[in-house]
Amino acid sequence: MKPDESNSTVKLGFIDTVCIIIVTVCSISVRVRSFHHPNTCVFDEVYFGNFTNFYLNHTFYQDIHPPFAKLLMYKVAEIGEYPGHLVFNGNIPYKSPEYTMLRFTPEIISSFVPPLCYLCVRFLGFSSSSAFTSGILAAFETTLICEGRHVLTDGILHYFSIQHVTVLLYFRTLKKRNLYFHIWHVITGITLGLACAIKNTAWGLMVLDAYVYLRLLWPEQKKSMDNYIRIVFIYGSSLFAINFVVFWGTYILHFLALPFVGPGIDYIDFSLRKHFVPYGNSSLLRPRLDPPNLLFRTLLYIYRTHEGNMKLNGFHESQSHPNNWPLLTGVGVYFFTHDSRQIRCFGNVFSYYFAFIGVVCCCFAYKKPQKWDAFVVSVGYCFSYFPFFLIPRVLYLYHYCIPLMIGIVGYGVALDLYLPKRVKGVVIVLSIALVIYFYWLISPYIYALPQRDYNKVIWNNAWVVGDSRHIIEKSQDRHN
């Protein structure tokens, strides 16, 4: 391809390469640190570790989330010759070191979230220094670190979600609708499908896609509004079709990998149970070809799974509410405790506050020359965050991670929009120093290290016991 064939309005240079390397090294370092510890189940490893075992034994299991991240962890485990023998159950120590390999998969994948945050700022047309700030804020953000260090799918979700945003923003810089443009249109649909095939929280990104496409194709209205509507419909429908095919395809792979009856068989629709056969009877696989067809089966399974997901509304000690998340006014997520050492999924208070500031600044950038670039952040954040207020099921702090990443990108945007160069340099240094300081301060809760002084580390007691609403809900649950 010729250098100018992409027609991108953003060109990356040597400084960008150096910054990306620094951000990536920092990100990997804080995620792989002591990843062998603890050598027992942490939080939902009891589920996702066993899901990998079920895949390796090809026995069906039931889960409320789409399967792509679990399929990915399964294939990496299979390539690594993990036999699926570890017991994932409470505080029982793992009997062999293969658990470190299982943790390594989400650790490495999630490590590339910060460099992608860097690229998002750059593809929006802002400076390397501001992008570097966003990258460091993401690298030392403790919610992202904690979720990415264990056998969980959330770190993989973070990567594929911000990967889609990065691809979308790069696609947005392409001005000629040539072959290169259409290749990236397809890639945009694929990355959206992969993100949505991990957890349904990624579906809010579709509105961000709609906003970007509407703005990108706006010049077509100069010919006629009918032409604009037609072009938008063609690109919008094809993007959704690609997204759906990828999303549906992961379920097909999921069902193909699990032909045998397993512990999840009692939790699925009765009409689907006949398609699974007793373990080991490969000669009896013919029932898997019986109607209904795979598309109908998949759609029914998705519907029933989503229905079950929305019914998870019982009180949980670690639950919080969407209004708690932006400014960290609610309880963190309890992961692990042993011999006075704990793992709790707390947010880095400075990353959260800076992200919130960034979003607010982008929302009020309507008088700035780059207002449409800033509004990308506003739209992405709002439609990834506010739908949670409509969700009836129990929610946790880690559900905020997608809007948080977009907000971190917004902080880099705000630095360029509002600050003169000299002031911006000082603010960047202070921002990075504060984020790294709080990471160091809270790190015993990330790595299950000896605790520091509680009053110095826990700046808001609600992080541990919850806010007044949480306390009332807990009291009501005890009396029921």
pLDDT given for residue 4 in this prediction = 52
**Is the residue at 3 inside a domain?**
no
Distance CA 319, CA 434 (A): 27
pLDDT given for residue 280 in this prediction = 65
> How many structural domains compose the chain?
1
How many other C-beta atoms can be found within 10 angstroms of the C-beta atom of residue 354? 26
Instruction: At 311, list the tokens.
Output: 């019914």
**Is the residue at 8 inside a domain?**
no
**Is the residue at 249 inside a domain?**
yes
- The DSSP symbol for 43 reads T
Distance CA 187, CA 243 (A): 10
pLDDT given for residue 3 in this prediction = 46
- Please name which of 134, 103, 140 lies closest in space to residue 117, comparing C-alpha atoms: 134
For the chain, the straight-line distance linking the first and the last C-alpha, in angstroms and rounded, comes to: 67
**Is the residue at 5 inside a domain?**
no
Residue labelled with tokens 């068989």: 265
**Is the residue at 236 inside a domain?**
yes
**Is the residue at 9 inside a domain?**
no
Residue labelled with tokens 């962890």: 73
pLDDT given for residue 31 in this prediction = 96
What phi, psi does 148 have (nearest 5°)?
-95, -5
Domain that holds residue 355: 14-479
Averaged pLDDT, groups of 10, the chain, 480 residues long: 64 96 98 91 92 93 92 95 89 88 95 98 97 98 96 97 98 90 97 96 96 94 90 96 95 89 77 74 61 77 81 87 96 90 95 98 94 96 96 93 98 97 96 98 95 92 93 86
Distance CA 480, CA 279 (A): 41
pTM across the whole model? 0.94
SS3 label, residue 277: strand
pLDDT given for residue 311 in this prediction = 77
pLDDT given for residue 1 in this prediction = 45
Residue labelled with tokens 């640190």: 33
**Is the residue at 285 inside a domain?**
yes
**Is the residue at 384 inside a domain?**
yes
What phi, psi does 150 have (nearest 5°)?
-125, 175
pLDDT given for residue 318 in this prediction = 93
Instruction: At 396, list the tokens.
Output: 């946790």
- The DSSP symbol for 127 reads -
